Amino acid sequence: MEKGLSHDKAFDDLMAARNWVVLLEEGEDGYVVATVPELPAVVTQGKTRKEALSNAREAIEVYLEYLREKGESSPKRVVESVRV
C-alpha cells in the first residue's frame, strides 16, 4: 500500500458506516463543486457530477487519514440527512 494511504480497521469501518452528506453546486466556471458540511476542510470539484462525487470521496478519505495520523478523533455527526 502507498505511503500515506494506510488504513486500519477503525478507519475502514468509519468510511463504510457513515453516509456523508455531500452538497453539490454548479460553480461559476461550470464545474460541479462538492462540499461536506461535517468536514469543512473538504471542498473539491469535478467537470461532472460523477467526477465531483468521486473527488469528494477521495478528499474525505484523505482528510480522515490526516486526522487519524494526528491522533484526532473523527468529527461527531452534526448534519442529519432526512428524506421527505
- CB half-sphere exposure, 17, CA atoms < 13 A: 8
Residue partners of 22: CB distance under 8 A and separation at least 6? 34, 35, 36, 53, 56
- What is the domain partition of the chain in residue ranges? 9-70
The gap from C-alpha 35 to its chain's centroid, in whole angstroms, comes to 8
Q: Which CATH architecture fits 9-70?
A: 2-Layer Sandwich (3.30)
| N residues, the chain | 84
Residue pLDDT tens, the chain, 84 long: 333 444 556 656 666 667 788 999 999 999 999 999 889 899 999 999 999 999 999 999 899 889 889 998 777 766 676 778
